[in-house]
A and B are shown apart, each in its own frame.
Chain A
Amino acid sequence: MSDPRASLLFALADDELIMGHRLSEWTGWVPYIEEDLALSSIAQDEIAHARMLLDILSVIDGRDPDALALGRAPSEYRNAILCELPNTDFAFTLARHWLYDHADDVRLRSLQESSFKELREAVAVMLLEERYHLEHADAWFRRLADCPVEARHRFGEALAAAMGPAEALFEPLDDESAIVSAGIAPAYTEELHDEWRARIGGMLDEVGFDQVLASRAEPATGEMVPTSSGEIEASGEAEARTPSVGAGGRRGEHSEHFEPLWLEMTALYRAHPGARW
């Protein structure tokens, strides 16, 4: 029987690790230096947060943090598919960043009340740093929503494309009832999902992007299929507990984009086992 704490930690750490890896791909490519530093710094923070969580997990799991981050097979990662999707363009990157960081904020705030001391302490540190990610994402959200036609249009399209997989950040975890009944997570992911939708719904309404959230994805419906990009398709089989398109990550069922990412992320670790800086 696996430890329910591990199930929660794998999901949290893998989201941060994979988001951090994707964001790091922007380093050196962003159109101007301040934004290059911003996305690179956020990537650095996310990977550092993954390390904090994997340090805690390491005590439960027995493997060292590097082995947990880089030594697992692709099907052992529990990140949401949203995190592994290609950056695509700046609009999609910022749309995902905004949706993800609000979701992360909702769950971290909830975990401030966790019964799991080490996690609670790590979450307190993470929240102090995530505050800047959220401010960055919100600043871009308002800026792009206020833009003339093309930028606003592309950002709206990107939000719609990212929305389905973003909902799947709230797929139930393995052992979720055990996690909640032990107080490790004080709330079910479904409650966090509602809180997140209410929060982002209000902000989307304010800027006239309410159509992004227009339909609540129900099991096995295709309503959240993105408007333009073919890259946001469901990879897992639709089933009762699958809330939306782009689900499956919490069960280790990833999209076709995961393996290329994994190959690059783990290349050094696999080529030189046990290497140290």
Chain B
Amino acid sequence: MKTLTVDAVRDALRAVMDPEIPTASILDLGILHDVRLTGDRIEIDLLPTFAGCPALDLIREDVEEAARALAPDTDVVVRFINDPPWTTDRLNQEASAALKAYGISSPLLQIGRAQQITCPYCGSDQTVEESAFGPTPCRTIRYCNSCRNPFEGFKTKR
């Protein structure tokens, strides 16, 4: 029988997508914080992006299901924790591409990475924020002055 490893669990969880951004994995979004194997139990700590995100319960269920599929005879305990707080600095490089594929621009990231919020359609950095509040807690509404399209941006949280 194959030995269960933390890496195997993380790989399995890579397939769990954000229900509201189906191109983005919870690993790329930095929602997965920690995986521990303790005896015959898999413990998984997740970080909520925004406290009011209605997808949190769905994400928890999807994570439980993915972990159980990997190790059917193992107890799986999934919980959301507040420490450390989730910030947009947890997004990895893959997340930018995944967001863009869904028409959402990346947030301002940490120093040395993207400093301009670019339009997901035409790539222009001539964009402005129309409203900090979009269709979900993690998104803003922006407007591109180059191609004149409104678009959604991932909200910077840090």
Task: Tell me the A residues contacting B by CB distance below 8 Å.
Answer: 34-35, 37-38, 40-42, 44-45, 47-49, 51-52, 118, 121-122, 124-126, 128-129, 132, 135-136
Contact = CB atoms under 8 A, between A and B. Distances in A.
B133 interface: yes
Contacts of B133: 34, 37-38, 40-42, 132, 136
A58 B128 CA distance: 42
B130 interface: yes
Contacts of B141: 34, 37
Nearest to B57: A277
B21 interface: no
B17 to A, nearest CB: 21
B132 A38 contact: yes
Interface in B26-50: 48, 50
Nearest to B141: A34
Nearest to A52: B51
Contacts of A52: 51, 82
A126 B51 CA distance: 8
Contact of A45 (B52, B81, B83): B52
B52 A125 contact: no
A44 B134 contact: no
A58 to B, nearest CB: 14
A132 B85 contact: no
15 contacts: A37-B131, A37-B135, A38-B131, A41-B52, A41-B133, A47-B52, A49-B51, A121-B83, A122-B82, A124-B83, A128-B157, A128-B158, A129-B51, A129-B137, A136-B133
Interface string B123-158: 000000011111101000100000000000001011
B134 A48 contact: no
Contacts of A47: 52
A48 B86 CA distance: 15
B96 interface: no
Given A34-B133, A37-B131, A124 B51 contact: no
A11 to B, nearest CB: 19
Nearest to A117: B83
A128 B132 contact: no
Contacts of A44: 52, 137
Q: Which of B52, B134, B157, B158 has the most CB of A within 10 A?
A: B52
A41 B132 CA distance: 10
Nearest to A43: B52
B137 A45 contact: yes
Contacts of B81: 121
Nearest to A127: B85
B50 A48 contact: yes
A34 B87 contact: no
B140 to A, nearest CB: 9
5 cross-chain pairs, A with B, having the tightest CB-CB distances, nearest first = A48-B52, A48-B51, A41-B133, A38-B133, A34-B131
A42 B133 CA distance: 8
A269 to B, nearest CB: 18
Contacts of A135: 132
Contacts of B135: 37
A35 B137 CA distance: 14
Given A45-B52, A48-B51, A37 B134 contact: yes
A23 to B, nearest CB: 12
B82 A34 contact: no
B54 to A, nearest CB: 8
A30 B157 CA distance: 26
